A = this chain, B = another copy of it.
């Protein structure tokens, strides 16, 4: 049986994918400013043999709803949102195997310092760094940077393509593997003949400098991507090693998976070299009754306005203009049709109201919500993998860290019993853990490889 991969899906913020639930008495997401929260979470995840912790980020606010950030502030809808990168060193210090996929928006930061920062992260984690490549999608981030609006979608990916070339040159092309000799006896730290200047003259970036870091265990961190658009998938098929997607049911998810694998193959890559994680939220307990009771209790804290604030940000459609009983099929805009495709195709004949959408989004966001006994959940996750060909799940919390603790306590053993989950971490770096021994570095035909300094 295929071994299921597991990421925890988190963000350096109060309410991540469960708008309103920060107010639940057992939810600790409002402790996001405490390192203790994060180191405790990391230890829980490593105890549960999670492959990685995936940290989302937005450099902006959800201000589409009612044209203002007020609802986001009131309900803590991914706001405040602190820098994700700074969480990782403290978590790395208390774990040995857990991988870290961190979202860094490339649109507003030049490649030279970001390459150094991510090399540093890979060094400090001893090769457990992953980078979720994001071009940004909130206008509010662009105005923070002094732009009137963000660059249009297509140009963002052109910028991203060139950005990656520069990053590869710095990470793979600056220092040869044997450059840092660290020879105390002959007092030679690095061999200058094995280090070279990185030059780049492109449309958006110019670099003429030495990469400041000696080669880190993985050189290029494990590359994540989450763009669902056609252009985003093309980018993922070229660059990404892990792709994060979402959809409420296998019928929506399976074609995305097939398309990404097809595109990767068309680029000459082994389709298995792109691992695909889909969003899911699990509420469980000792048995089905306990899970259902927990779900009922959680729902009491779910907030419809908070959910619509989140959904308005994702879609660009201001849901404050609609009434709870409005039927979505009458909300006829192109953006809406595209945004709602994932929900309506669940059952093409079902008529959704705004209220139902809000309830759906409030726990689990754009992914499925699994509520049930441990054996039941395990079977359903395994069935999802079989039906969709995903490699695993990006698990959001309803209430944190309770959702993750419950998963580790109840679901992981059930998956293990069924041969669908590992009993130990594989040795080596994050990339080796995901793709096998000898795979610490990217391999041909990945585009990074052509820039390598042999």
A interface, CB within 8 angstroms of B: 12, 14-15, 20, 22-23, 25, 30, 33-35, 39, 59-61, 68-70, 73-76, 79-83, 85-90, 92-94, 108-110, 112-113, 116-117, 119-121, 123-124, 140-141, 143-146, 180, 182, 184, 187-192, 195, 205-210, 212-214, 216, 301, 303
Contact = CB atoms under 8 A, between A and B. Distances in A.
Contacts of A303: 187
B35 A93 contact: yes
Contact of A33 (B60, B123, B145): B123
Contacts of A206: 146
B120 A109 contact: no
A221 B144 CA distance: 21
A80 to B, nearest CB: 4
Nearest to A25: B184
Nearest to A81: B212
Contacts of A140: 209-210
A80 B124 contact: no
10 contacts: A12-B120, A35-B93, A69-B210, A73-B192, A74-B188, A74-B192, A85-B86, A140-B209, A146-B207, A187-B303
Nearest 10 A/B pairs, CB to CB: A144-B209, A76-B189, A146-B206, A70-B192, A33-B123, A82-B120, A112-B144, A83-B120, A89-B90, A73-B190
Given A30-B182, A89-B90, A110-B145, A116 B210 contact: no
A86 B212 contact: no
Contact of A124 (B73, B75, B87, B213): B87
Contact of A20 (B112, B119, B187): B187
Contacts of A209: 60-61, 140-141, 143-144
Contact of A89 (B89, B141, B205, B301): B89
A140 B212 CA distance: 11
Contact of A75 (B74, B110, B189): B189
A23 B20 CA distance: 56
A406 to B, nearest CB: 21
Contacts of A34: 124
A326 B110 CA distance: 43
A92 to B, nearest CB: 6
Nearest to A24: B184
B214 A80 contact: yes
B82 A116 contact: yes
Contacts of A180: 80
Contacts of A87: 89, 124
Contacts of A112: 59, 108, 144-145
Contact of A212 (B79, B146, B191, B213): B79
A108 B59 CA distance: 18
A22 B143 CA distance: 46
Contacts of A20: 187
A87 to B, nearest CB: 7
Nearest to A213: B80
Query: Which one of A23, A83, A119 has the greatest number of beta carbons of chain B within 10 Å?
Result: A83
A231 to B, nearest CB: 24
Contacts of A216: 33
A359 B93 CA distance: 38
A81 B188 CA distance: 16
A59 B213 contact: no
Nearest to A22: B189
Contacts of A23: 184, 187
Contacts of A86: 85-86, 88-89, 117, 120-121, 124
Contact of A82 (B93, B108, B119): B119
A93 B25 CA distance: 25
Contacts of A82: 116, 119-120, 123, 212-213
Contact of A144 (B22, B80, B207): B207
Given A12-B120, A82-B119, 9 more contacts: A34-B124, A75-B187, A83-B113, A83-B121, A93-B93, A110-B145, A112-B145, A144-B209, A144-B210
